[in-house]
Structure 1
Amino acid sequence: MEQYDTHATADPFACSVNAFETLMGTLSGDQASAWTHAELEEHLDAAGRELLRQLLQDHLDLRALREEEQVRAGASLVVVGPEGRVRPWRETGHARWLASLFGLVRFTRVAHRGPGVGNVHPADEELSLPAGRHSLGLRRLAVTEAVRGSFDQAHDAVTRRCGKVLGKRRLEELVIAAAIDVDAFYRAQIPVPCSRQIPLVLQVDGKGVVMRPEALREATRRAAVKAAAAGGHRGRLAPGEKAWAADHLTTILAGHAARTAAEMTADADREGLPATRRETVDACHRYLTGHLDQLRYDTALANGWPIATGAVEGACRHLIADRLDITGARWGLPGAEAVLRLRTLVANGDLDAYWRFHSAHEHERLYPAPGQENYNLTA
């Protein structure tokens, strides 16, 4: 990162002022007067981000200076760790990096130390710094980009805006970590009351996505191996099979699902289907006979009730397929579930509220009150 030279001054934002004046000098110079608007935008995008980064750096330096002055003045600050033990020693000069929306900055603070215990940094708690290097703002940007496109596209988008502050693998890890509080967030929501006169109807659908073999649950893995041994799954029907399927679907719509189930097993017996194909017929038979009370399509059609599942299927496509089923995607369970939860937040318009909830809980996990267990200390 470029550093700006300044004269000795007590102004804590001297570097930022110098950066701003340098930018103004460039824009008022002869070279910039020949630039097109696109060239001006490109220069301001890079120089403006660096100016913002320098402002953040100067502010952090000012906070560090004030904390060190308190130490030199002998301020009697008693610091107690999460386990309840006092940290009697103070040591300046403990630095850590923070990858922000504007680039990398370095924060120096005072470590409060004690025999046989980890360091405590009160300044980290005041800033609510994360356990790792990447700021919450950067993490939210990673989430926003990752739920709308591939991780490669998300990484490119973050790099264009923030510079090289985040690797692709780390981006995936941050997205997974960002979804940790989704279930708790929705459990904490107060449901809207519903009267007895308003029916509540729930309908669900499923969508298969390509998973990495090592990420499959055991039952799914066995089923995949069995399907592969049987020659795989045919995605298309032959012309004759389409006419047969259409006839049986029409029969079901007419309210005769039981007859369809019986005819299917009779056809299978007559054709002498092999075990692998017969199993599919038997599964269909079990489904139809087990849901006869739910297959009264004739009643729905007679009353003019909609029976199409377009709304649910459309939501399933939007929520799952548009992201998890993109070309070349191969998923593990943690990544797929995290992206799905976060896409649900975005679709519900709850991302802003969730991020406030998540940020508060992340602070509680990192900076627990004395006496709490299972705490994590920042670097």
Structure 2
Amino acid sequence: MAPPCPPGRFPPPRAAFEQLLAGLSDREDASHAEVEEFITTRGREVHRLMLQEWLDQRAQREERLPQVAGSDQVVRRAAEAGHKRLLSTQFGTVEVERIAYRVRGAANLYPADADLDLPVALHSHVLKKLAAVEAVRGSFEAAVAAIERTTGTHMGKRQVEQLVQRAAADVDDFYAYARSSGSGSGSGSGSGSEELLLVLSADSKGIVMRPEALREETRRAAAKKAASGGGPFATRLAGGEKNGRKRMATVGAVYDFAPMPRDPGDVIRGGDNTDRTDRPERSRARAKWLTASVERDAEQVIGTVFDEAERRDPDREREWVMLVDGACHQLDLIHDQCDVRGTEVRILIDFVHVIEYLWGAAWCFFARTDPAAEAWVGQTALRVLGGEAAQVTDALEAQADAEELDDQRRSGVDKAVGYLRAKLPYLGYDIALAEGWPIATGVIEGACRHLIKDRMDITGARWGLAGAEAVLKLRAVISNGDFEEYWEYHTQREHLRVHAIRYRDGLTLAA
């Protein structure tokens, strides 16, 4: 049990606490909800007074130093007590008094600010952390309401946005440090077992941005479209027309995967295996790690994905598999990374994309309501899974020729044939199934929905570049399970930026 507070210590909070107890005595007939609300509201003031009293007593005990040397190499010998600044906390606003060390022509230095690790702006690190957590879960307006509901402190939407941007300032450095030091972090640490596959994946999704935040080519295209009077329709987009409001964000994922050999019949129903009930249980992604950026381009994000893979498997002892949707630019970037790093990775196209092309071909041969189309797609997909993608393309062309389809009716076949032939090097599903590799991009697509769509696509949202980037980074850190570890790293970096950099030899004070 803690010793009792000495008489004369903390008199303002003690008096406020006594008033709180007296208020409780006056509410004997109140409901529990009324009493709970009373304690919450009045208790915040008790807590604020406790913090204020602690700061005041600390100010009284601050020792005057003979001199303080700044990083500008200027020594400050004049000391002036009584300099005050405000600090907004989760309990309310308090006043911090400390000694200023001065010299003509140079900025004041406050060693007590460094000792207290005060933020550069008004809001405390605790409020900044709360703003970061709330703002990445929902809208900034909702974050403002949640902070006020939790702490009683009102913050403006712009203040929350600024705090979030500052909170995300060290995410890239945090993960770069983890890679350079060989340390693991959160769920992304990986097991390091040679028996587990190392799976890499990347995908992109657009975010509606304010005009000044668009990439230059998108902005020029939008301006050109506006100058020409827009598209053919006034109230909707024409087929294939873009509205010129989105900037593509790239999401990357790295995870471990226990190989699970299977055959084509374990993946898809078709032919004689429609009613199979002995399909093996699916293997799940382990130690999933995500990264996302709307500011950096796809090349940089994919490079970061490879960096994380190298951190997990620096000696290339594991099989690397990369799952993609098949975009040509994306494939080129992956090959570039492999060439630069001297790394071999097995690239697979998401099988679900192949299925969609097969369905497009099926509508060339069957009516839209014909159940036979489903059986045809299943049987054709089984052949692709069995390593017969090249034969399937030939068979599709032959069937279209045999049925003498005109150009319009066979467009779905032509698209499927063109897609399959272009992606043949990445359709080795027979090998993938035999080796137990994953063949679908569900992990990265789920990451795109979670990191981008669930937060960035809130109705009416239009993003600035800095705000969108900060929210994406923090959502990825939280998804990786690294937030608490990151926050410790971030506060250390903030201390260096805000305080240590002001003094000669870091925080060594000349005496």
CA–CA separation in structure 1 for the residues paired with 2:129 and 2:113: 20
Distance across 2 between alignment mates of 1:21 and 1:334: 47
SS for the counterpart of 2:201 is: coil
Q: Is the 8 A contact 2:136 2:471 kept in 1?
A: yes
Describe the superposition over 1:289-337 as per-residue Cα deviations: whole angstroms up to 9, x where unpaired.
4432112346656888653333332232122221112222222221111
Number of equivalent positions: 347
Matched residue of 1:166: which SS?
Answer: coil
Q: Matches of residues 35-114 of structure 1 in structure 2 within 5 Å? A: 35-67=30-62, 70=63, 75-114=64-103
Q: If each structure's strand is expressed as a fraction of its own residues, which one has the higher value?
A: 2
Give the aligned residue type for 2:21. Answer: M
Q: Is contact 2:101-2:108 (8 Å) kept? A: yes
- Looking at structure 2, the residues matched to 304 and 136 of structure 1 have their Cα atoms a distance apart, in angstroms, of 47
Q: Structure 1 residue 361 and structure 2 residue 350: aligned?
A: no
Is 1:322 the counterpart of 2:454? The answer is yes
Does residue 168 (structure 1) correspond to residue 157 (structure 2)? The answer is: yes
Is the Cα–Cα contact under 8 Å of residues 252 and 297 in structure 1 kept in the other structure? no
1:182-212 alpha-carbon deviations (Å, 9 max, x no partner): 1111112225573554331212232222222
Change over 3 Å in CA distance of 1:76–1:102 after alignment to 2 = closer
Q: What residue in structure 1 maps to residue 363 of structure 2?
A: 243
Structure 2 residue aligned with 1:181? 170
Q: Distance in 2 between matches of 1:293 and 1:54?
A: 69
How does the TM-score come out when normalised to structure 1?
A: 0.78
1:313 to 427, 440, 445: 445
Q: 1:207 to 1:11 in 2, by over 3 A?
A: same
Matching of residues 282-293 of structure 1 within 5 Å: 288-293=420-425
Partner of 2:20: 23
Q: Equivalences for 1:126-145 in 2 at 5 Å?
A: 126-145=115-134
1:117 counterpart SS class = coil
RMSD of aligned alpha carbons = 3.8
Q: For 1:115 and 1:295, locate their aligned partners in 2 and report how far apart those are by CA, in whole Å.
A: 72
Q: Percent identity?
A: 47
CA distance in 2, matches of 1:94, 1:108: 6
Distance 1:249 1:137, change over 3 A: farther
Matches of 1:358 and 1:36 in 2, distance apart? 44
Could you list the runs of 5+ residues in structure 2 that have no partner in the other structure?
1-6, 185-189, 232-236, 243-358, 366-372
State the distance in 2 between where 1:44 and 1:38 align: 10
Letter in 1 for 2:66: L
Partner-residue secondary structure (3-state), 1:201: strand
Take 1:249 and 1:372, find their aligned partners in 2: how far apart are those partners?
Answer: 70
* Further displaced range: 295-304 or 90-99: 295-304
- CA distances 1:258-306 after superposition (whole Å, capped 9, x unpaired): 675996xx99x945xxxxx9xxx99x98865443211234665688865
More helix by share: 1
Going from structure 1 to structure 2, the CA distance change for 1:285 and 1:355 (only over 3 Å counts) comes to farther
Letter in 2 for 1:50: E
Secondary structure, counterpart of 1:318 in structure 2: helix
Q: Separation in 2 of the partners of 1:12 and 1:306? A: 65
CA, structure 1 residues 244+223, in 2 after alignment: closer, same or farther (shift >3 Å)?
farther
Q: Name the SS for the 1:96 alignment partner.
A: strand
Aligned to 2:343: none
- Determine if contact 1:104/1:165 at 8 Å carries over to the other structure: no
Q: Contact (CA 8 Å) 1:185, 1:354: kept in 2 or not? A: yes
Q: Which residue of 2 aligns with 1:206?
A: 204
Q: Does 1:231 align with 2:241?
A: no
Structure 2 length normalisation: TM-score? Answer: 0.59
Could you tell me which amino acid in structure 2 is paired with residue 221 of structure 1?
Answer: R
Aligned-partner Cα distance in 1 for 2:84–2:201: 53
Cα distance in 2 for residues equivalent to 1:339 and 1:305: 33
Other structure's SS at 2:83 match: strand
